[in-house]
Amino acid sequence: MPIVNLPVDEVATRAAFARIGGMGALFMASNVARGAAAFATSVVVARTLGPETFGRWTLGATWAAMLTFTLDLGFGVLLTRDAAAGTARVGAMVGGALATRAMLFVPMAMVFLASAPALGLGGDAASLLWAVLLLAASGMAYGSLSAVFRAWPATLAAIVIVEVAAALGQLGGTWWIARQHGSVRALLLLGAAVQTAQIAAAAFLWRLAGDRGPLFERPSLPFALSLLRRAFPFAVAGLVVNVQERLAPLMLGRLSGIGEVALFGAAWRIVSLVRMLPQAIFGGALPVLAAAREGFADVARRFDRVLSVSAAVAAAGLAVFASPVLRATYGPDYAGGALTLMWVAIGLWPFLVNSGRKVGLYAAGRERDAVRWSAVSLAIQVAACAALIPRFGAAGAALGMAAGELAVCWPLKRQSVRSR
Tens of pLDDT, residue by residue over 347-402, are: 999 999 999 899 889 988 888 999 999 999 999 999 999 999 999 998 999 999 99
Backbone conformation region of residue 217, classed left if phi is above 0, alpha if psi is from -120 to 50, else beta: beta
Model confidence band, residue 120 (pLDDT cutoffs 50, 70, 90): low
Phi, psi (degrees; rounded to nearest 5) at 213? 85, 175
User: For residue range 228-264, what is the model confidence (pLDDT) as tens digits?
Assistant: 888 889 888 888 888 888 788 888 888 887 788 888 8
Model confidence band, residue 406 (pLDDT cutoffs 50, 70, 90): very high
Centre a 10 Å sphere on the Cβ of residue 319 and count the other Cβ atoms it contains. Answer: 19
**8 Å CB contact between 369 and 408:** no
pLDDT value for 195: 94
Per the model's pLDDT, the better-predicted residue between 419 and 287 turns out to be: 287
Per the model's pLDDT, the better-predicted residue between 12 and 239 turns out to be: 239
Mean pLDDT computed over every residue of the chain: 84
**8 Å CB contact between 76 and 287:** no
pLDDT value for 126: 58
Question: Out of 53-62, 121-130, 141-150, 301-310, which region has the weakest mean confidence (pLDDT)?
Answer: 121-130
pLDDT value for 116: 66
Does the pLDDT value for residue 309 go beyond 80? Answer: yes
Centre a 10 Å sphere on the Cβ of residue 175 and count the other Cβ atoms it contains. Answer: 15
